[in-house]
Structure 1
Amino acid sequence: MQETGTVTPLRARLGTRLGQLDGAYRASMEAAIAHLRRSGMATRAKLAGDRAPDFALPDPDGAIVSLAERLQAGPVVLSFFRGEWCSFCRIEMDALIAALPDLAAAGASLVMVSPQGSSETLLARSRGVPGLTVLKDPMNGVGLQYGLIFRMPDILREALLALGVDLSHVYGTDAWLLPIPATYLIRRDGTIALAHTDPDFTRRLDPQDILAALRALTG
């Protein structure tokens, strides 16, 4: 589950949330994570040194935003946000937003891609945040380009349904496809400088690690 080492604000919040999970749900989650690790699907994801696939997606107002366009202004932190239903995703989003002033000072912008539609809660969390762009990827096309998409194992699907979380309603499809948590730091030339991809959705790339890598890029 959670990484050991320095306890940062993000890791502390993730650890607290993990400890709050219902025992039965946590057991189902751990079984699903083990299944995904055995499948080797994470090895197909884009990694550091790879070229980041370009894409163009709509923002909540319908304007089309491309990765190439954003890279013209500087490095991009690209994070895949599974949806408001995922408490670990919300915690990571909060941490990235808190780090935005430091990211911006180092010349970077933050782009978050989500298969979830423009929910009121997601809009409320993201609107008016300088340096943040949230883009809609309803068919997981960009997630597929980055090698991140998987079908949720039945054991975890059943556990979520028991908690009243039906992703067929969240995403508007009964496929139950979603991205593994992934965050990238992409250089201006389009190559990936830092990558975090992990089927264990309780583990996230800490903003402190992103900032350290970003500062190394920019000198």
Structure 2
Amino acid sequence: MKNILLIFAFVTTLASYTYAQKGLTAGSIAPSFSGVDQNGKKINLKALLKKNKSVVLFFYRGQWCPYCNKHIEELQDSLQLLTAKNAYVIGVTPETTENIAKTIQKTSAGFSIIQDKNDDIIKAYGVNFEMDNATFTKYKGYGIDLENNNGNTRHTLPVPATYIVDRSGKIKYVHFDPNYQKRASVKQLLTAL
């Protein structure tokens, strides 16, 4: 019963904060970004698009989110199908490198994950929202300490969105849903690729 109440509280609280968010639309030019993944590999969108037909870019909230972990596991389980279509998969998160390591341990993710330390990528793609203090306190009561998880006091999380960027740098697919439980399925991604 406690888990059901926790899930309901997450959905109702986060839904109210993310309705104003819209994200980017299909046909838009994807904002360029660069970073370093969990293996120390330099990631640059433009460089990746020169080598790959497309980039599957998804945003997740953190290792504490069971829906994020499930989505990452599904992407990992189908990674060969995605890469067979010459797609490079990148996860972006505000969580610290230590917590990215926990995500990888929980999900066996073998693709690049970038810490968006200053929320630059999250903001560029229009998926950022900031929790108010009351919501932050509720999360902390559930054992989720965003300040510790993200290594800052901004209380910013991404809407768990997914974009496919084609070789020309345009966004050809968008999955953006304020309900953090809903994610792009691998089938949808493979169809869009």
Same fold judged by TM-score > 0.5? Answer: yes
- Specify the SS of the correspondent of 2:92: strand
- Paired residue total: 190
CA–CA distance in 1 between the matches of 2:47 and 2:180?
A: 29
Aligned to 2:90: 111
CA–CA distance in 1 between the matches of 2:163 and 2:121?
A: 13
Following superposition, the deviation at residue 137 of structure 1 comes to 0.9
CA–CA distance in 2 between the matches of 1:67 and 1:123?
A: 22
**CA separation of 1:75/1:69 partners in 2, compared to 1, >3 Å: closer, same or farther?**
same
Aligned to 1:98: 77
Is contact 2:36-2:114 (8 Å) kept?
yes
Aligned to 1:121: 102
- With normalisation by structure 1, the TM-score equals 0.79
Aligned to 2:36: 58
Deviations 1:191-214 (A, max 9, x none): 111101122100001010010111
Deviations 1:8-53 (A, max 9, x none): xxxxxxxxxxxx8624323322332442255x22x2x111111110
Larger radius of gyration: 1
Aligned to 1:143: 122
- Specify the SS of the correspondent of 1:184: strand
CA–CA distance in 1 between the matches of 2:152 and 2:35?
A: 19
- With normalisation by structure 2, the TM-score equals 0.89
1:133 matches 2:133: no
**CA separation of 1:211/1:33 partners in 2, compared to 1, >3 Å: closer, same or farther?**
same
Aligned to 2:159: 180
Structure 2: stretches of 5+ with no match in the other structure: none
- RMSD (CA atoms): 2.1
Is contact 1:25-1:159 (8 Å) kept?
no
